[in-house]
Structures are given as C-alpha cells and as structure tokens.
Structure 1
C-alpha cells in the first residue's frame, strides 16, 4: 500500500495527473480513430454492374443506373461486366472492387486488423512490464503513426490488409499500456476517472466528422498520422511509472518522479519517501531473489487469481465482440452513415461519465451489472422489433434500440476495464490487462462477420448480442468487488485468499507526517 499513500500525499488528482491525462489518455482519440477506420473505409457505395458494351455518359452506363439493376451481381457467364460506383465517397470497396464474390474481403480485412490488435496486446503487456511503460508507449505510438501513413498509399487490398494488421498490432500495444500507465499515478478515489473520461468517444466523433468532410479512406489515414505529432512532445514531459520504477528497484529515478509530481501539484515531498519506496523495492527483491520472473502464467498461478482472470477475459471477449460488431455494422442501420457513426459514439458520453460516480457509489460489480441489463434489453428489443414492426417505423426504432445496446455495452466495458486493472498487482498489472485485451481481440476478430450474417436482417446478430450480454451479466456478479481497495504492488498480496495485505494504514502515514 506504500505507493498508494505516497501518491495520495503528493496529489492523487491534480495538475500532474491532468498533464498525464492529456498526453497518455488523450491518445485514445488516435486509437479510436484507427480502430474504427473500417466502419467507414469498409462500407460500399451504391454501385451498378455495367456491361462494357453499353453506351455511356461520362464513363457511366445510361441504361444501368436504375433501381432494377442497382447492386446486382453479374451472372457467371457475363465476363464483360464492369463495376461503376457512386462517387459520394471513396472506400476500399470501390478502390479495389470488393463486391460480389470479392465481398468477403472487406470483413476479412477488419478481422485481420483485429488479429493484429490481439498480437499487439499480447506482446505489449509483456513489454510494458519488462521494458517499461514509457518506452513501450512511445515506440508503439511512433510505429502507429508510420503504419497509418504508409497505409494511405496502399496499391492493393492485400497490401492494405497487411498494413491494417500492423496498425492493429500497435493499437493493441497502446491499449494495454496506456491505461495502466495513467492509472498508476491516480489515488484510490480517482481511479474511475481513467475509464469514465469520454476520450475514446471523442475520437470516434471527430473521426465521423472528418469522414463526412473528407470521405476518402486514403486521406483519413494521412490525417490520422498527422494528428500523432502533438503527442510526441510528451516524451520530454511525462515520466516513467512511479510504481514500475519502484518494483524494479530503480529508486533514484522513482524519487525523481515524486519530485516532479510535487512540483506540478505544489505539494511538499514526504520526509520518508525514500524509506517507503525502499520497502516496496525490498519486498519485490525478495521475490526476485528466488528467481521469480513474471510472465502470463502468473495471472493463472493460484486458484484465487486464476478464476478471476478467466472471468475477466471472457467478459472482455464478449464486450469486444458486441461493441465492435455494432460499430463495424453501422452501415446496416438506416439513415446517414456519418450521422450513425457519430450518434453511436456520442450517446456513450453521458453514461461513460456516469460510470465515474456509479463506480464510487455502487461499486464495480453492480455498475457493470446494471449496464449489462441495458445492453440485453436493447439487443432483444431489436430482435423483437424486426418481427413485430413493419415499414419506415422499424428503421427508426431499430436505430434507437441499437444505440441503447451500444450505451450499455460501452458503459459496462468502462466499469469492467477499471475492475480488471484493480484486480492485479503492479508486477503483473500490465500482463493481466494485456491478457484481457488479447481475449478481447478474439471477440473483435469475430465481430465483423456477425453483422455480415443474414443479409439485411439484423435479427440473428442481435439475438447473439443479447445472449452473450446475458451470460456476461451473470458472470460479473461472481467477481469480487474492488471498490475502495488499495492497488497491490506485490503478487503475494493477492494470492493469499484474494485479499490485499495492508502494509501501512492511513493513520500510520499521518503519524509519519506524510
């Protein structure tokens, strides 16, 4: 508990944490933009299959631009057919004719991207606990910018798919490192703000606006790459994680971080800072002396942490599948594509912010459960609407219920995200978070195909969504509550029955005049 008390003493949420939020949590804007790029780039403009011998006006067949022949695939014996697309937007579908028998390549590219996120999450978690939070974060950020820039100049869908895989791997790495990196500088009371801040949603809204203003897949990659530049200046401002430096025994560097926090927050440095850091380091040194090196196996070693890890990973997998399934399937909803992307994101803002207060008042378990109930209600509501409502009203009702489902899933994920990080100690926090992110990407790989099922009928996809969210709601009631508990630093503090060992109480710290 020493590092928790130390952070509380030098400011648990002040100017230093605001700077960290801008440079670390702020990169969620870039991650959200990159992650959901295919919700625009993978859509299909209206198209016609035009025989090459047809009379044309400005390159477009006169006889085939009608509703009867719109979006009708050519017969197998029609070898002269050419695809003509409406020019209102430029996506990978019209860039490389990904329709008809090539239609499967669009969800495949999205799935390949999510596979990259899986690989990146796996290696990013290990790297952050070995190389450090800061180095892993900035290396991933730089590569993410570079891959997006190169992707803008792809010359084939195969090249684009390979680059989307690389972009996905950097998204995965950033996802697993940026959240614990920021969380480790917050006091107990303020931890929910890390998941309640609507930064991700802001990124999606900006992406929707940018796509509307410049509906070109290549230009969107260039714009995204350029937006990385301001965040690189954070390298010279934000420090390595105080907790990570301490458990690694780099006490001089850890004390300099405390000095920096005191300067930013205008607090006096606790007189026994060095002693507190030394105690944490010595405890970890005792474990390392026995030859202990932390790997992903440690988040399953001992039943008390193993069953928690399995449930957390299942929750993340299902949440990812549903969240990205709805996001990538936005083209299946009625109305404007750009407006739907925007609305599906912006509706999360009030509920995401609400999770901060609900997590502190009701705890992580009941907050998650309540939002799972909303998601289940919305999903089955869509399924019922498809069979009981007809005409124009159906599209509006389905859109509203889909947004309600997205609200529930997004808010539940915010609560589960915080819950997951609090479950693991500092020495394996990134590993546990990385493993959860890894399983989430399995769900993300499946997501594009769920909403590609059954043509325009959304019954089956939303029945799947409602069923998986029901199971998640039940499982979240099994996990132990972490509200108000200090972040453990050593793995030994978690394996003894799942309770965190209290090394020093708040009253002890007051007596020490921290």
Structure 2
C-alpha cells in the first residue's frame, strides 16, 4: 500500500495476472460493519435456537395441596401425584410447580406426561430451520444475499412478535415454526454473505471472535431480565430491528452481482467499500477483474456443466467422506441440543449454566485458533478426537451417577458434565465444517457444506426427543449419547484423512474413478462420436 492524496492506495503485484474479485475485499472499517452486522444477527439467530431452552423448560412438581413432593425426583413426584389423585378422588388438590423461568409449560399446565407435548412442539418448530435453509438459500442465489436477509429478518420480527400473543400450544407451535423458517434462512444466507465480504486471510480469526459463544452469555442475560416467555419473544423481536436497519445501509455482495452480470453495480459496491475504508481503489484493475469474472462465469454456463448432490457420491472416497461427515453433524446436534433443550434437568441456575457454556466455548475457540495456527501437529483429527473424548467421558460419568441413583450427592458433577458437553461440541461443528470444505473440490464444496447442514437440522429436530428415553430407564439418554459419540469418533478417525495444510482440490476426479452416473455420460459421449463419424 502507498499513500496518495492522503488516502491509502491498495496495490497488487504487477506480475499478478490472476487477481480475483475477492482479493479486493480488504480489512478496514467496512469489515467492522460486516462483523457488527454478523454479531447482531447471530444474537437473534442463537436466541431463536435457544428460545425453547428457557420457554420450554419442564417445571418441577413440588407439591399438590398439602402433599409435599419436593423431596422426590421428577419421575417419582409425577408417580406420587397420580397415586394421590387416584386414592383421593373426592379431593382435587392443586399442583404447585417450580421453575426459574415462566415457561409455556407453567402457563398452560404442561407438566409430568404433559411435558412431552412441549418437547414434541420443539421438534416441530425445528423443522422450520430446515425449510428456511433450503428456501432462502435458493432465493439468495437468484435474487441476492441482501434481499434474502432483509426478508428473513422482517419475517423474524413479525413472527416472533406474533408468537407472544398465542394462547395455546398449537398456535404457539405454528408461530414458532414460521419463526424458524425465517431464522433458518437468516443463518444460511448470513454465512455466505460474510464469506463474500470478509478478507480471505482474516476469515478464521474474525469467525472465532464473532461467533455464537459470546452470544450465549448475552442471551442468558436477556432471558433473565425477561423472566417469562411472552416478554422474551417480544424482546427477541425488538433485538432484530437493529441488524435490519444496519443491513439496509450495507451493500449487496459484489461477487453475487458479478456472477449475475451486473458489473457496474459490482464495481460501485467495491468502490463504496474502499471509500468507507479510506482507501483508493485501482478501478482499471477492478474492471479487468470483473470482466474476467464474467467471462469465467459465462464459460461455465455455456459448458452446461451443473453439479448436484449426486456428485458428493461421485467416487467411493467422496461417498465415504459425505456419509461420515453427515453422520458426524447429525450425532453432534443430537448430543448438543439434547442437553440444551433439557437444561432444566441440570442443577443450578439455568442462566448461569448458559453463561458458563458461552464462556467455555469462547475460551476454547480462541485457544484452538491459537494452537491450530502455532502448532502444525495439532490437526483436524486430533481436535475432533479430543473433543469427543471429553464429551464421551462426561456422558459416561453422568450415566454412572444416574445408574447408581446418586444424583443428589453428585449434582455438581452432572452440572459440570452437561455444561462441558455443550461447550466442547462447538469444536466438533468447527472441525467438521473445515474438513467438509477441505476434502471436496471447489465446484461441489458448497454442496458438501449444505448437505452437512441439512443433517445438522435433522439432528436438531430429533434432539428434544432424546430425554424421552428416560421413560424406559433414567440413565439411557446419556449412554445413548456416549455410544453415538464414540462411534462417530472411531469412524471419523478411520475414514477421514488429515486435511490440515493440504492444498484445496480445484477439479473433480477423472471418470475412471466415477461410480455415479458415469455409464450414462460415457454412452452419450460414444453416441455423439458415432453420429459424428456417420455424418462424415
């Protein structure tokens, strides 16, 4: 960089004839705006994901009339209540419930067996995230990242506010389903927008600083002062207004505009970014780069080569990677959100537990980013294995406590294990995400990540049902999580190669390695060749 007219001029090497549009995205004030937008959006996204952690927590049955049930565990207290009602049919005692947060369960009397209905409601709500990811992902590719995010945020504001006025579990579930459709869209599109608007060399540390971890702390504070689910829904709606206003000020992705052939608009976006940063842009080089981007895109379009999810199974290696990574995301979400949506079963304050999760997660993010940067031997597989070892040990320790019926004596240990499971699972998401990008070539890299995200959503949908296994046997959910985690750790270590420091693949394997759809293409090629010979 050199100074010219009191402004920084961003220059490129004269020998560099392969400058990409992404190379014009530099660290500066505009990056701060992008990071600030992501932070505010993440708070809203995480809030919608964790809403049922607070609002759907099953209350503890402590008494019924003059009958004290506080010294029983949840299952036994419910059993005693049924005996009281059966033996005293003429005496209709009023159940007394205790909870740290005024939940929908409290307001509409969903406790004991009724608590299952709220867990089912949570699963239905999470289906919306899957729908939103698909719908808004396609919308953003067709009409733009900014438009998609504006619609998603507007939808979140309206539907979250509408949720606070529902009066029964059915309408509540429907409203929350709509919320999560827009929230799923917001999550999917924001990831792409951030990647396209952050400098390549700064994406890792920015994503470690601006992440979900610190927002656990912020949302726990918001939930504490909200105190009840209706207020929390309204506050969450209002918290979505600031990122919407900032987004209106932000520019559309220059990469998206260039791919759509809107070169003048893409150039204006880059020049505006440089103006905000206080830099002077090399407009000549920018125009040349935009023209190359357009020619490259048009060449791909004219070649008629399109890639689908089937290409993730193009070779045996790709098929193995795809299945293993999908399974990993699925299991991680079941374990992570299984604990999150049943946090009321953990001793201590639900707010303090959420804050502890955020603190530990954030600390781990920063430590792992440093270790990954500093030590070449600490690769993806080592971090993945280390995370699962901690989680599996925590699951088995909690299982032993429940199996020996010493929950009261070791309630502190259960709390530490539960908090650590949710905190450490963040490393599994990060590791699986990085590996999914490093194993596949550029043309199907986004497809790989989208496929993994789909299975993440499936795991989230199933996770609220996990603790219904305790109807069969109290410790069963923890042994199930431990065994699933152990299985994923073994499969990952066996089937996935170390990818740290490896060059990213740029092209697909040859057809000699192909196992899906190759015969049809070969037959078509042979037919075309035969027709060519016949015409001669």
TM-score with structure 1 setting the length: 0.83
> Partner of 1:15 in structure 2?
29
Distance 1:475 1:191 in 2: 29
Deviation at residue 432 of structure 1 after TM alignment:
4.0
Which residue, out of 353, 369, 375, partners 1:356? Answer: 369
Q: Does 1:39 align with 2:53?
A: yes
- Matches of 2:491 and 2:287, distance apart in 1: 42
What CA deviation, in whole Å up to 9, does each residue of 1:198-241 have, x standing for no partner? 53223222222232223211110001001011111223332222
| Larger Rg computed on CA atoms | 2
Task: Give the match's secondary structure for 1:451.
Answer: helix
Quick check: 2:25–2:197 contact (8 Å CA) kept in 1?
A: no
Deviations 1:279-332 (A, max 9, x none): 232222122124455655555556665544433322221221111111112111
- Is 1:100–2:112 an aligned residue pair? yes
Describe the shift of the 1:484–1:140 C-alpha distance in structure 2 as closer, same or farther (beyond 3 A): farther
1:28 aligned residue (42, 57, 61) = 42
Structure 2 CA distance for aligned equivalents of residues 172 and 244 of structure 1 = 20
Residues 32-71 of structure 1 correspond to what in structure 2 (within 5 A)? 32-47=46-61, 50=64, 61=65, 63-64=66-67, 67=70, 71=78
Match of 2:13 in 1: none
For 1:132-153, what per-residue CA distance to the aligned partner results, in whole angstroms no more than 9, with x for missing partners? Answer: 2222122111101111100001
1:369 Cα offset (Å): 3.6
Contact 2:312 2:319 in 1 (8 A): yes
Post-superposition Cα deviations, 1:427-470, rounded to whole Å, max 9, x if no partner, equal 76655433322211111111111123215976322222222223
Tell me the matched-pair count: 482
> Does structure 2 retain, via aligned residues, the 8 Å contact 1:48–1:84?
yes
What are the within-5 Å matches in structure 2 for residues 104-503 of structure 1?
104-197=116-209, 199-270=211-282, 271-292=284-305, 296-297=309-310, 299-300=312-313, 306-361=319-374, 362-387=378-403, 390=406, 392-421=408-437, 431-454=447-470, 459-477=475-493, 478-479=495-496, 493-496=506-509
Structure 1 residues 269 and 373: alpha-carbon distance in aligned structure 2, compared to 1, 3 A threshold: farther
Q: Deviations over 1:147-181 (max 9, x none)?
A: 11000011110000111111222222122111121
**Structure 2 equivalent of residue 58 of structure 1:** none
SS in 2 for 1:495: coil
Mark the CA change 1:189 to 1:237 in structure 2 (over 3 Å): closer, same or farther. same
**2:24–2:270: 8 Å Cα contact kept in structure 1?**
no
Q: Distance in 1 between matches of 2:48 and 2:442?
A: 29
Q: 1:245 to 1:431 in 2, by over 3 A?
A: farther
Q: Which of 61, 74, 77 is equivalent to 2:82?
A: 74
* TM-score, length-scaled by structure 2: 0.80
CA distance in 2, matches of 1:484, 1:8: 21
- Paired residues of 2:62 and 2:70 also in contact (CA < 8 A): no
User: Is the Cα contact below 8 Å between 2:40 and 2:242 reproduced in 1?
Assistant: no
What whole-Å deviation, never above 9, does each CA across 1:409-444 have from its counterpart, x for those lacking one?
112212333444566677766554333222111111
Structure 1 segments unaligned to the other structure (5+ residues): 51-60, 499-514
Moved more, 114-123 or 427-436: 427-436
Could you say what secondary structure the match of 2:468 adopts? Answer: coil
RMSD after superposition: 3.3
Contact 2:160–2:234 at 8 Å: present in 1 too?
yes
Higher helix fraction: Structure 1 or Structure 2? 2
Contact 2:20-2:289 at 8 Å conserved across structures:
no
Whether contact under 8 Å (2:116, 2:468) holds in the other structure is no
Quick one: distance in 2 between partners of 1:428 and 1:127? Answer: 19
Structure with larger RCO (C-alpha < 8 A, sep 6+) = 1
